[in-house]
Structure 1
């Protein structure tokens, strides 16, 4: 039986989360914004409890949490929602990186067509962007810096803590895409100075279709973000539309579980990674990492298996492992990974690279057995 090793694309839902969602679907039919009956009040209490669960994980205030349909929408609100403020303040310069999720890159590209100035910083072979290169781009009219915490393809942790501290000193808005780190690098996220943060629940064993935008207050004021959609005053006017109560409850439960179990989960992921590396070394196969592993999260490996086509390998090993060779948002494209290209990796190496990612419920023995089978097939493809 094939083992799922593409957690960076989407995680399985935790059974405890699913059980809660089923209960909500069955027993809480109200609209959280209905104020004339108990059904609405019950739905609203579920949403507000979930808001507190997310806030506790991140150690922020509940009124700084806004529910969305996912990280892509959160990112669009965070960036596009600053347009009015940018026009009024004449600050239309944005800095980001070449390895961001397409939700960031396509959004800033759109703003560039509307007269914004965009600076994009490239990483080096370590997979990290330089904090110095980010900060040297800052100008008097800089509106926003947006940097992901952990890259979804390489698992490399970016220097967002150091960047955030410097940007706060200069009063520049800072957005973090925490989709791959929320619920994992819990203590680090809590220590970062940021104005906006986004993530999706389905990357931490929660349901697909719900995410969070965090807007941190300064002097009791939220960042100057406006709604980019219209149709209601839900989520305090930031995100209109009926709140999906069961999805929000699932998001909150996933955050609660992560809060109490993240340390155990980190150890499990690191132990499994160590075992996978031992299997790789013992196989005798020639490989190298994409990205410096001292900066990598313990739940991801991006490796180049020399002389082996990643497409051929994935097709030939579907019965053993479900792995990928890039971001799920570009999986229908057979062009080389834009993240690895931005790092300066040669095309032939990119075409031999795969991403392996796992989670707290991944069975170590099953993975090791199937991964060994994958490596044996890789040897056959190469020969």
Structure 2
């Protein structure tokens, strides 16, 4: 065996991330999107895509972008990281047509993450209702979280951020900063939320001690809820989320401040949940999915994390529910990847994060 092949093989066996062989082809399905943020597949083969600048777009199954945005979308606060974020379909969308949106709400002086839903009817959102607004409202335009996942009981979890300048509040159970919240689909609070009966605690909280959670996915086969979050300089995390747990930020971290200053001398502390893995240096994870298609049997059941700083997608290999190493994919694009989704057709779909954003479709090379 020659040395060029020996080194990657050894790294793979040791569990280190390596670039995977090109057994795929990347196609441009659609373009002309302005900072696309989130993708959802409609039952009829079309797609919904949010643009951070505040628009919800319809894309036909053949990739044609509808020139007119969906009307009736709530107005978002758009600045820096703020804007329209996640789009997610109700588990019973075929019956009720509910579409959920997360977005930054308010002004530069007073804003936070908001969740709303409306019925998608002939290119329009109707009966739009605000379900939740994270509190307190704060200044600035950073760290909103914004990803949504549905649990088997058809409640939903919404990821949030610490607002950047309010990181100590991630440990404060009295507000929503640096938390994951769990809601009924109508916005009410589930009776069994872990902190609901705790005096002074925000009843919506499902977990706390987070920085900026921009990836969440429920593995229905294993019954596990995975998330990832941005660290500061280093310390991006993949976590297994359990009700009522504290994930440590900023009491523990593998990263340092952007100035190089120490945030905490601790990487672990009793009672705080350690990450399944951390990325140091930071890769800036922006979206999380699990592959359950038929086109890439070698990817079956693995997690995929889109990244912004690394300009890649991390394939996180799972074996019997345990981490079994990573592969770095799609670096040849040289693109910040905002969203990654496992499509109903077995392809993997990517959103590129720029002013001329695209929807990319990953299919087998053959």
User: Which TM-score applies when normalising by structure 1?
Assistant: 0.25
Tell which has more relative contact order, 1 or 2 (C-alpha 8 A, sep 6+): 1
Greater helix content: 1
Larger Rg: 1
